[in-house]
């Protein structure tokens, strides 16, 4: 076999001849390209694990995709995949790389320069995505990108040589076995290299620091009201959503790791006194507890992008009074460490609702994935205009000329949470007789005064309500119905504390929240 002297050398002259019959060679060439792309991608993840300065290119590309995608595509991702939107995006990135690899393999068989050029182009895009990522270490991305180009190209070259040898008419069983064993070994490297890289990267996780935070130093168990007893109906949503089950919808491809040492919250803009608080200073002032239900504007009727928790924090009103809001400061505009922004009217901070710079959730420090070290919790408005996590600064500006992340992408400027109710049980076929229908209903800041259930097109019947823990939290409800064998449609509607009943008009989440009645079809059979 002659050596490849220049990038323009045709691999037709340097690799063994293709078989005269069958289609095994093209298949092996595609496999060589796929595995080469996998090696390149896995290499970036492995190298990123060795230093906190070296970013994950996959993560940076994911962040760029989220920021640069059209609003309709982002909406589709959230509505389709819900809390799994980030893993789905990661899988999509990998699939695209694999598909590109399947094209690069055969092309490199004809022109040797294709592999390094193709991998270099993809790597360059990854570096550019990393440079624009506020959480990444900029040009350090050149390190994993460069290693990936070299190893990915070499893997393609080597596998193509083996594939060509295994595809000759005179190929031996040993030739084919060598190709398959090498391919399996390459696949193993593709699978395990990212796992090793992730484990190495987890050394920089902030979980150990978070675990040392003790909220009892500011809010002691003796001063906390006990968690109310919830209705014990199998399959029903708990009164308080466990932290691990609480929905997470945000623009961060990976969870930011913010070290509270050196972190501070800044209050600036149209204020008399710009302020800055360290984490310890916020902890010392975090003596307020509040039960608040949060909901994502992308939540469909009957969806699970909603949760209830007990939040610990500092009243935002106190901080704004200390800063002194100037007359033109009509908007609270918050920014996270990854540059996400959200804004809401300054006027709602002092209208009696809960508005916290939260540092605790359900009796423990904020989980990292929910905003550690601090986030905003504003009752009664959807998270896209209020619930900024991994909080960096709060700027007071004017409402008309400053717009948060989602507003410029087509969502409504204001985002009051609509009255909603959901059926949790029954969730499958049931036996004839007395059947308990149960779920939750919410209208934060207005409360729930009544929940009604209907079977098919029958009359609405009032349900029993669970414990009342405040107008800003959801309420559990249940109702027993007698049903014979057959198929039925169950419906639910709620009436808020102002007397307004949930509309039956169906609308999609965009641009300001879904409406309609949750309905469940059930089969009743012996």
Cα–Cα separations (whole angstroms), residue 55 to 52, 61, 478: 7, 11, 50
Q: Are strands 331-336 and 341-345 parallel, antiparallel or unpaired?
A: antiparallel
pLDDT exceeds 50 at position 7: no
Stretch 511-522: mean pLDDT, rounded?
A: 95
pLDDT digit string (tens) for 43-90?
888 888 777 777 777 887 887 887 777 777 777 777 777 767 778 888
Check residue 462 and give its pLDDT.
Answer: 98
Q: How confident is the model at residue 24 (pLDDT cuts 50, 70, 90)?
A: very low
pLDDT exceeds 70 at position 170: no
CATH code 2.60.40.650 for 420-524: yes
DSSP string over 74-98:
HHHHHHHHGGGHHHHHHHHHHHHHH
pLDDT exceeds 60 at position 1: no
* Contact assessment for residue 48 and residue 54, using Cβ atoms and an 8 Å cutoff: yes
- What are 92's two structure tokens? 């999509």
pLDDT exceeds 50 at position 224: no
Check residue 512 and give its pLDDT.
Answer: 92
Q: Where are the domains of the chain?
A: 11-204, 223-409, 420-524
Task: Average the pLDDT over each of 36-50, 247-261, 313-327 and give the range with the smallest value.
Answer: 36-50
Stretch 486-508: mean pLDDT, rounded?
A: 96
Give me the percent of the chain exceeding a pLDDT of 70. Answer: 90
| Cα 93 to Cα 386: distance, rounded to the nearest angstrom | 30
| Cα 512 to Cα 411: distance, rounded to the nearest angstrom | 6
pLDDT digit string (tens) for 387-430?
999 999 999 999 999 999 999 888 999 999 999 999 999 988 99
Which residues make Cβ contacts (< 8 Å) with residue 9, sequence separation at least 6?
112
| 221-236 residues labelled b (16+ CB within 10 A) or e (exposed) | eeeeeeeeeebebeeb
- The angle that helices 173-201 and 142-167 make with each other, rounded to 10 degrees, is 160
pLDDT exceeds 60 at position 357: yes
Q: Which CATH superfamily is domain 223-409 in?
A: Oxidoreductase, molybdopterin-binding domain (3.90.420.10)
Check residue 135 and give its pLDDT.
Answer: 65
Output 142 or 324, whichever has higher pLDDT: 324
- The angle that helices 142-167 and 57-68 make with each other, rounded to 10 degrees, is 100
* Contact assessment for residue 367 and residue 389, using Cβ atoms and an 8 Å cutoff: no
**Most confident by average pLDDT, 106-120, 240-254, 418-432:** 418-432
Instruction: Looking at 202-315, list the stretches that DSSP marks H as alpha helix, in order from N- to C-terminal side.
Output: 207-211, 279-285
* Contact assessment for residue 365 and residue 309, using Cβ atoms and an 8 Å cutoff: no
Check residue 285 and give its pLDDT.
Answer: 94
Would 223-409 and 420-524 be classified into the same CATH topology? no
Check residue 273 and give its pLDDT.
Answer: 97
Report yes or no on whether pTM surpasses 0.85: no
**Mean of the per-residue pLDDT values of the chain:** 86
Helix (H) or strand (E) holding 196: helix 173-201
Q: What angle do CA 374, 380, 386 make, to 5 degrees?
A: 40
Stretch 25-39: mean pLDDT, rounded?
A: 85
Using CB atoms within 10 Å of the CB of residue 411, give its burial: 0 to 12 exposed, 13 to 18 middle, 19+ buried: buried
pLDDT exceeds 70 at position 3: no
Task: Average the pLDDT over each of 221-230, 303-312, 361-370 and give the range with the smallest value.
Answer: 221-230
| Cα 263 to Cα 209: distance, rounded to the nearest angstrom | 13
pLDDT exceeds 70 at position 25: no
Q: Which of 427, 413, 439 is nearest to 308 (CA)?
A: 439
- What are 490's two structure tokens? 């169950």
pLDDT exceeds 70 at position 222: no
Check residue 138 and give its pLDDT.
Answer: 65
Q: How confident is the model at residue 18 (pLDDT cuts 50, 70, 90)?
A: very low
pLDDT exceeds 60 at position 2: no
Check residue 23 and give its pLDDT.
Answer: 38
Q: How confident is the model at residue 286 (pLDDT cuts 50, 70, 90)?
A: very high
Stretch 307-314: mean pLDDT, rounded?
A: 96
Cα–Cα separations (whole angstroms), residue 257 to 74, 135, 334: 24, 9, 18
- What are 278's two structure tokens? 């360290």
How far apart, in Å, do the first and last CA atoms of the chain sit?
74
Check residue 322 and give its pLDDT.
Answer: 97
Output 497 or 10, whichever has higher pLDDT: 497
- The SS3 call for residue 104 is helix
Check residue 195 and give its pLDDT.
Answer: 79
- 227 DSSP 8-state letter: P
The phi and psi torsions of 160 (rounded to 5 degrees) equal -65, -40
| Cα 44 to Cα 150: distance, rounded to the nearest angstrom | 11
Token pair 């109710």 in the structure block, residue: 421
| Cα 515 to Cα 230: distance, rounded to the nearest angstrom | 27
| Cα 315 to Cα 359: distance, rounded to the nearest angstrom | 11
């Amino acid at each position: 076999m002659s050596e490849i002297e220049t990038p323009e050398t045709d691999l037709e002259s340097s690799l063994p001849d293709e078989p005269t019959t069958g289609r095994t060679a093209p298949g092996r060439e595609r496999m060589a390209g796929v595995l080469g792309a996998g090696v390149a991608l896995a290499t970036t993840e492995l190298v990123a694990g060795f230093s906190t300065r070296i970013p994950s290119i996959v993560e940076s590309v994911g962040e760029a995709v989220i920021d640069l995608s059209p609003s309709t595509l982002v909406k589709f991702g959230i509505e389709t995949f819900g809390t799994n939107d980030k893993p789905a995006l990661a899988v999509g990135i990998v699939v695209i790389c694999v598909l590109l690899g399947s094209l690069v393999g055969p092309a490199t068989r004809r022109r040797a320069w294709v592999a390094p050029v193709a991998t270099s182009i993809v790597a360059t895009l990854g570096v550019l995505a990393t440079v624009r990522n506020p959480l990444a270490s900029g040009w350090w991305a050149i390190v994993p990108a460069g290693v990936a180009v070299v190893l990915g190209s070499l893997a393609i070259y080597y596998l193509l040589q083996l594939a060509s040898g295994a595809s000759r008419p005179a190929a031996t069983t040993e030739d084919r076995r060598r190709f398959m064993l090498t391919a399996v070994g390459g696949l193993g490297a593709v699978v395990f290299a990212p796992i090793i890289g992730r484990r190495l990267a987890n050394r920089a996780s902030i979980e150990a620091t978070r675990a040392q935070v003790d909220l009892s130093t500011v809010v002691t168990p003796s001063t906390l009201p006990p968690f109310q007893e919830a209705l014990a109906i199998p399959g029903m949503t708990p009164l308080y959503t466990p932290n691990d089950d609480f929905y997470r919808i945000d623009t961060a491809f990976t969870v930011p790791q913010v070290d509270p040492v050196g972190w501070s919250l800044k209050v600036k803009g149209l204020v008399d006194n710009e302020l800055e608080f360290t984490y310890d200073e916020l902890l010392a002032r975090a003596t307020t507890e509040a039960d608040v239900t949060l909901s994502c504007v992308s939540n469909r009727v009957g969806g699970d992008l909603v949760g209830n928790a007990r939040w610990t924090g500092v009243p935002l009103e106190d901080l704004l009074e200390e800063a002194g809001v100037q007359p033109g400061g009509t908007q609270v505009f918050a920014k996270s460490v990854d540059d996400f922004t959200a804004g809401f009217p300054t006027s709602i901070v002092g209208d009696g609702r809960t508005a916290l710079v939260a540092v605790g959730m359900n009796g423990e420090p904020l989980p990292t994935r929910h905003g550690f070290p601090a986030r905003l919790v504003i009752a009664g408005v959807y998270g896209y205009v209020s619930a900024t996590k991994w909080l960096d600064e709060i700027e007071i500006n004017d409402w008309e000329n400053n717009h948060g992340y989602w507003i410029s992408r087509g969502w409504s400027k204001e985002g009051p949470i609509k009255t909603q109710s959901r059926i949790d049980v029954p969730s499958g076929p049931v036996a004839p007789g007395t059947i308990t229908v149960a779920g939750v209903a919410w209208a934060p800041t207005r409360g729930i005064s009544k929940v009604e259930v209907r079977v098919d097109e029958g009359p609405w019947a009032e349900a029993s309500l669970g414990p009342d823990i405040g107008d800003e939290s959801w309420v559990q409800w249940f109702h027993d119905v007698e049903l014979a064998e057959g198929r039925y449609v169950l419906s639910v509607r709620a009436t808020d504390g102002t007397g307004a009943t949930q509309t039956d008009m169906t609308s999609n989440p965009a641009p300001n929240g879904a409406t309609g009645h949750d309905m469940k079809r059930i089969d009743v059979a012996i």
